[in-house]
Amino acid sequence: MSADLAVRTEDLGMVYPGGVRALSGVDLEVREGEFLAILGLSGSGKSTLLRCMNRLIDPTEGRVWIFGEEITAASGGSLRRLRRQVAMIFQQFNLVRRQTVLTNVLSGALGRSRLLPSLVLSFAQSERERAVASLGRVGLDDRAGSRADALSGGQQQRVAVARALMQEPRLILADEPVASLDPALRHSVMRHIEALNREEGLTVICSLHDIDLVERYATRLVALRDGKVAWGGRPEEFDRDTFREIYGEEAEPTSNSGF
């Protein structure tokens, strides 16, 4: 296995306790620095695939390597150490609504913080400065003291990007990061994720269901259907005919509201 792989999966499969199969036989290699988009209808396994990569879900079959270390074999401290290199951005933002924006961003540093001080919300001055700087990167440093739920959806997702940045990761997993946002606000969040990829050289794996966004931001595309990889290649090679071939005549690629 070459050293510059950010993620490698081998025969990855997931069957949920109820018996529903969400993934089967997914073999994937993601090189460092790539912006990989994962396309698929809802229920095609995009979310499950991303969550298997940082073990928010334990896959039932197959193995996953993160920067050459097998995360599916890690546990306890070594699992947490691997997770520190992998930040995640969620469709529903998943901020702690009752806490301030700054505390939410600071929580990105928990993986490297000492346990006892962190339990009383005490962080080093350098971390606080870094958190304010991260907020500055997404243009929200003036909202550091606001409660998270006082912000609009687009602002909340930018706080989540700042939290991811705070983590100082090498890889970002973004699970439908703009699906809950007003179409007009999508680029404001996507551009920040793109900046992390272009300027910081972070690897990004981002599930999307909007083919325009895929073409605009991704360097490579993988399309999922029924939990299997149905197509892989460069986004510009993925045209409407390929789309219909994979998802059937009924599905129609759209630019604003998903399939």
Partner 1 sequence: MGDGREITPGAVGWRKNLSRLQAVGIDAALITMLILMGELLVVAFSGRRGDTGLLLSAEQILDLLHYAWALFAGLGLALVWNLFYRLLGASPGRALVSGVPEWERDLEWTHTLRGWFVAVFIELTFFAGWLITELQLVTFLTKFGKAADIVRGLMHPSSSVLHEGLVLLVQTIFLAFMATAFAIPVAFVLAFPSARNLTRGSAVARLAYIVSRTLMNFVRAVEPLVWALIFITWVGIGPFAGVLALWVHSVAALTKLYSEQIESIDTGPMDAITATGASTLQVLRYGVVPQVIPPFLSFTIYRWDINVRMSTIIGFVGGGGIGYILKPRVDLGEWGEVGTLVLLIAGTVWMMDIISAKIRERIV
CA distance 218 to 206: 8
* 179 is an interface residue for partner 1 by CB under 8 A: no
Look-up of token digits 């929200």: 140
H or E element in which residue 225 lies: strand 220-225
DSSP alpha helix (H) spans, 138-257? 153-166, 186-199, 211-217, 240-247
Tokens of 168: 């100082």
Token output for 206: 């981002």
Binding flag, residue 206, partner 1 (CB under 8 A): no
**Smallest gap from residue 34 Cβ to partner 1 (A):** 20
* 160 makes contact with partner 1 (CB under 8 A): yes
The site that binds partner 1 (CB under 8 A) totals a number of residues, namely: 41
Taking phi over 0 as left and psi of -120 to 50 as alpha, with beta for the rest, 94 belongs to left
3-state SS, residue 124: coil
Judge contact between 89 and 167, C-beta under 8 A.
no
Cβ(162)–Cβ(134) below 8 Å: yes
CB of 71 to partner 1, least distance (A): 11
Q: Does 20 bind partner 1 (CB under 8 A)?
A: yes
Cβ proximity to partner 1: between 96 and 251 the closer is: 96
Q: From the list 29, 63, 70, 84, which residue makes contact with partner 1 (rule: CB under 8 A)? A: 84
Check binding of 165 to partner 1 (CB under 8 A).
Answer: no
Contact region for partner 1 (CB under 8 A) — 87-95, 198-206, 207-215, 231-239? 87-95
Considering only 10, 33, 61, 94, the residue that binds partner 1 (CB under 8 A) is 94
* Cβ closest to partner 1, residue 61 vs residue 215: 61
- Residue 97 in 3-state DSSP? coil
Q: Is 46 in the site for partner 1 (CB under 8 A)?
A: no
Q: Which of 18, 184, 199, 250 binds partner 1 (CB under 8 A)?
A: 18
180 is a site residue for partner 1 (CB under 8 A): no
In angstroms, the CA 31 to CA 17 distance is 32
Contact between 119 and partner 1 by CB under 8 A: the answer reads yes
Q: Are 13 and 25 in contact (CB under 8 A)?
A: yes
Least distance to partner 1 from the beta carbon of 233, Å?
A: 24
122 contacts partner 1 (rule: CB under 8 A): no
Q: Single out the residue of 1, 2, 3, 98 in contact with partner 1 (rule: CB under 8 A).
A: 98
The CA distance from 208 to 90, in Å, is: 12
Contact segment (CB under 8 A) with partner 1 among 83-91, 149-157, 206-214, 251-259 equals 83-91
Name the residue among 191, 219, 224, 226 with its Cα closest to residue 205: 219
Task: Give residue 254's identity as a one-letter amino acid code.
Answer: T
Asked if 145 touches partner 1 (CB under 8 A), the answer is no
Please return the burial class of 109, using the count of CB atoms within 10 Å of its CB with bins 0-12, 13-18 and 19+.
buried
What are the residues binding partner 1 (CB under 8 A)? 18-22, 43, 54, 56, 80-84, 86-88, 90, 92-99, 107-113, 115, 118-119, 160, 163, 167, 173, 226-227
